[in-house]
Amino acid sequence: MTTVITFLSDYGYRDEFVGVCHGVIAARCPTVRIIDLTHGIARHDIRAGALALRAALPYTPAGVHLAVIDPGVGGPRRAVALATRDGNRLLVGPDNGVLQPAAAIFGGIDQAVDIGDSPERLSSQSTTFDGRDVFAPVAAALADGVALDAVGKQITPESVTTHALPKARVDGDALVAHVLAVDGYGNVSLDASPQLATSVGITSGAALDVQTTTAHAQAHHGAAFEHVAPGELVAFTDSRGALALAVYRGSAAQQLGLHPDDELRLRAR
């Protein structure tokens, strides 16, 4: 029996939405422990939700992992529950790509069910709060030990929506990378691994040219923010294991005018 449910959403902290889902889960499975990953994902930002989920799950106990970023709620998008190939994780959410990047790091999807008409769902006049009516009760049932194929209708793993992410590349002596995400500190996470960056000399101690479509800047690659003066740009390996840019005691995203998917060229000097 699974005893942990993690929960990530864009419900925010102003309304009762998160609390209601906790209530539904506690009513169905009183002993389960719920770990809120975050509910502050930007409204409808499937990309940001998918990346946060993928970043968090390796650090949580195996269990049921609920992720609700759901701009298509009430429409034709499917609601799904997925088992990963490593046999440890059950993912529950809308079939819009929010779950797939996380599933991929656990070996991909072994089994998938459509839970839109799940016997575990609540009946409701509303079509706008599937977190409460579909996803939370199904997650609670799975945590309570109900089998995956008992909470929905089998669908093929291949039919589950994937989420395409940009992909950094080497171009001559430059690294062409893209903004994957911007965190609450304004730190910019790129789509380049430290290994790829190192292959063009972007590594600890290097001085860098950073070229965006609108700005040019210089940065230092160093382990600690303190290695540069306040206001200066630093490149580093971030907590998600990706090459990232930060401004010591400032916002790199703001200073460089960067948004998700923006392209940058980085070069060691």
235 touching a second copy, by CB under 8 A: no
205 touching a second copy, by CB under 8 A: no
165 touching a second copy, by CB under 8 A: no
- Helix ranges, the chain (H): 17-28, 46-56, 100-105, 130, 136-143, 194-198, 252-256
Neighbours of 214 (CB within 10 A): 9
Residue 247 tokens, joined: 């401004």
Q: How does strand 263-268 pair with strand 90-94?
A: unpaired
Q: Binder to a second copy among 107, 117, 126, 259 (CB under 8 A)?
A: 126
What 3-state DSSP class applies to 143?
helix
What does the alpha-carbon distance between residue 23 and residue 217 come to, in Å, rounded to a whole number?
A: 49
Q: Binder to a second copy among 26, 104, 105, 165 (CB under 8 A)?
A: 26
Kindly report the CA angle at 102 between 6 and 4, in degrees rounded to 5? 20
Q: Which is nearer to a second copy, 95 or 238 (CB)?
A: 238
125 touching a second copy, by CB under 8 A: yes
Beta bridge partners of 155: 112
15 touching a second copy, by CB under 8 A: yes
Q: Binder to a second copy among 11, 180, 221, 232 (CB under 8 A)?
A: 11
Residue 225 tokens, joined: 């923010």
CB of 248 to a second copy, least distance (A): 9
Q: Which stretch binds a second copy (CB under 8 A): 35-43, 101-109, 160-168, 254-262?
A: 35-43
CB of 97 to a second copy, least distance (A): 16
CB of 44 to a second copy, least distance (A): 7
188 in Cβ contact with 245 (< 8 Å): yes
Contact positions vs a second copy (CB under 8 A): 3-4, 6, 8, 11-20, 22-24, 26-27, 30, 33, 35-44, 52-53, 55-57, 59-61, 71-76, 124-129, 132, 183-185, 194, 223-227, 236-241, 246, 249
